[in-house]
Amino acid sequence: MNTNKENISKKEKEVAAKPIYSITPFTLLDYPDHTACILWFAGCNMRCGYCYNPEIVQGKGKVSYEEVLEFLRNRKNLLDAVVFSGGECTLHQDIPWMAHQIHELGMKVKIDTNGSRPHVLENLIDQKLVDYVALDFKALPGAYQKITASKLFDEFVETLDLLLYSKIRFEVRTTLHSTLISKEELFNMAQFLHEKGYKGNYYLQHFVCEKGSISQLPESSKTFYPQKMINFPVNTIWRN
């Protein structure tokens, strides 16, 4: 058995795959204090009605890992980091290999995740292949399935616990639609984080329908939520 040839074949297969829908070549907003690009991984295991990337969630990849690496080599002195987003990037089994290649180029890796694949994130952390994580907190159990069309709340909690006990920098964030999450529910979500021992900033982003979303939702009122979260159990910051 020629193991070396098998390994080469496996790597060729990995490189030939096209898991990435598109690349945002430059951002100053998505990795704190770093210049970065965003890799939008195709596919997701949730169907959040307010998702503004239906073409990424429901579509197929168009860009291979090798094309990404060529792009990054040409921007080695311009970018500090690469953001893995989507969709849900942790669905793709070869992201540890990709993260390793990015670290070899001297760039950091940020993972945007819905928290549904804690074992994948644990593997990345154990191998020191991730530098920052943004974890989406969709809802508490009562509304989780309605909002995400999934039964993955326990996996989210496992991911949150993993991050709380790791040394990885991370943030928690929630997208809000006034017909889906009430003010009381938002307070309870913040209380949940507090009871878990989360001490970082809790970032809120109001749903803005600038293009099509997965579901036809009514207009959401930003004024439905207080802009200053007085007496909230964790430090809460609006991003829009």
Tokens of 240: 């829009």
Per-residue pLDDT tens digits for 52-106: 888 999 989 999 999 999 999 999 999 999 999 999 999 999 999 999 999 999 9
Q: Where are the domains of the chain?
A: 14-238
Q: For 123, phi and psi rounded to 5 degrees?
A: -65, -45
CA 56 to chain centre: 13
Residue 216 pLDDT exceeds 90: no
pTM: 0.91
Instruction: Quote the mean pLDDT of the chain.
Output: 91
Cβ–Cβ under 8 Å, residues 86 and 40: yes
Which helix (H) or strand (E) segment holds residue 134: the answer is strand 132-136
First to last CA, the chain: 57
Per-residue pLDDT tens digits for 156-205: 999 999 999 999 999 999 999 999 999 999 999 999 999 999 999 999 99
CA 226 to chain centre: 25
Residue 11 pLDDT exceeds 80: no
Region 14-238: CATH code? 3.20.20.70
